Amino acid sequence: MTQVNDISFIRTLVAEEMKAVDALILEQLEQSNAPLIPQLSRHILKAGGKRLRPILTLLAAKLCNYNSGSRHIHMAASVEFIHTATLLHDDVVDESALRRGEPTANAVWSNSASVLVGDFLLAKAFQMMVGDGSLAALKLLSDTSATLSEGEVLQLTSARDLATNREIYFRIIHAKTASLFATAAEIGGIVAGATKNECNALKEYGTALGLAFQIVDDALDYSAQTAQLGKQAGDDFREGKITLPIILAYEKASDEEQKFWQHALEDTANANDENLQTALNLIAKHNTIEASLKEAENQAQKAIKALTPFPESELKTALVTLAKFTVQREF
């Protein structure tokens, strides 16, 4: 794959629309009667993030020649609201203190505030979709919301359980991450009145992109530095999340190494710095970061292949580039 170091040209392609998305998001938040809602939401939205999901919706709509209104803006904002709601709830579940280099909302306010504001954002996402009036989009969005939370629940119940194999891992990341990427892309096709075939292609692209994105995220948790990552490296280890670098290392583990993993992951108390270092050494020994990134690259290739039905264009190039960037990013 060719090297892709940044996606600024992609951002430029949808710069005007993203400005409209941001304005809509702020407008929706300001309408709230409870001042904490815009305060807390602004905190998490200001911290930035890559905004990949709304960008995906905008790119998909434009790829399918949508140019007659602002429905894609509403869809993109709605997708971002759902994503932000899951971030707020995730941070409560994970008891995270840092996200994107900033203290998490639950650390600044409280878990309660994060739970309730997350609920509000979820409701807002549906309100915006209802305003749009497309039952097809509403079906996608409600199905995805159910899948997202199922994925999170599966992740929760699989934590500290080394019976979590590749298959279960893929089921989890498919549900908790790829489903929203898929919907973000497909919904762009829907507003553009794309054919069933095109919508399916976008869904397939989004799914593979989301899988690649999550696999890289999970690899970075063991390979990146805290400053780069904007959250604490080794968090997954401490939380007992069984992600691909561990699954692959456990597959190749000697009896003694298996015992280490079982001990290190069975309790938070065992997730000390010394054990994290041993875990990193075993991950390095079995090259499971590289193997994980190879899996991510396969998914990125699958994403690119899914775009075959679309003729060459600047927008298609953007989506191809996005797939490459997702794998090659270092943060």
Per-residue contact flags (x/-) with its own copies for residues 36 to 75, judged by CB under 8 A: xx--------------------------------------
* 148 is a contact residue toward its own copies (CB under 8 A): yes
* 266 is a contact residue toward its own copies (CB under 8 A): no
Instruction: Find out whether 132 and 71 touch, Cβ atoms under 8 Å.
Output: yes
Q: What's the rounded Cα separation, in Å, for the pair 177 and 321?
A: 20
Q: Is 196 exposed, middle or buried (0-12, 13-18, 19+ CB in 10 A)?
A: exposed
Q: Minimal distance in Å, beta carbon 91 to its own copies?
A: 10
Residue of the chain from 152, 198, 295, 297 that contacts its own copies (CB under 8 A)? 152
User: For residues 148 and 300, which CB has a smaller minimum distance to its own copies in the complex?
Assistant: 148
Q: What are 49's two structure tokens?
A: 């993030």
Residue of the chain from 65, 112, 197, 277 that contacts its own copies (CB under 8 A)? 112
User: For residues 143 and 267, which CB has a smaller minimum distance to its own copies in the complex?
Assistant: 143
Q: Minimal distance in Å, beta carbon 144 to its own copies?
A: 8
- For 99, phi then psi, to 5°, come to -145, 130
* 318 is a contact residue toward its own copies (CB under 8 A): no
Collect all residues with Cβ–Cβ distance below 8 Å to 169 and sequence separation of at least 6. 242, 243, 244, 247
Q: Where are the alpha helices (DSSP H) in 47-102?
A: 52-63, 71-94
Site residues for its own copies, window 164-183 (CB under 8 A)?
171, 175
Q: Where are the alpha helices (DSSP H) in 230-313?
A: 235-239, 244-251, 255-266, 273-285, 288-306
Residue of the chain from 62, 89, 231, 286 that contacts its own copies (CB under 8 A)? 89
- For 280, phi then psi, to 5°, come to -60, -40
Residue of the chain from 29, 154, 248, 264 that contacts its own copies (CB under 8 A)? 154
Quote the crossing angle between the two packed helices 36-46 and 71-94, to the nearest 10°: 90
Residue of the chain from 2, 3, 35, 69 that contacts its own copies (CB under 8 A)? 35
Pairing of β 98-99 and β 102-103: antiparallel
* 135 is a contact residue toward its own copies (CB under 8 A): yes
User: For residues 17 and 90, which CB has a smaller minimum distance to its own copies in the complex?
Assistant: 90
DSSP 33: S
Residue of the chain from 1, 15, 23, 34 that contacts its own copies (CB under 8 A)? 34
Q: Minimal distance in Å, beta carbon 135 to its own copies?
A: 6
> For 314, what's the count of Cα atoms within 13 Å in the CB-facing half-sphere?
8
Query: In 3D, which of 237, 329, 244, 222 has the Cα closest to residue 291?
Result: 244
Per CB under 8 A, residues contacting its own copies are 32-37, 86, 89, 92-93, 111-113, 115-120, 122-124, 126-127, 129-130, 133, 135, 138-139, 141-143, 145-146, 148-150, 152-154, 156-157, 171, 175
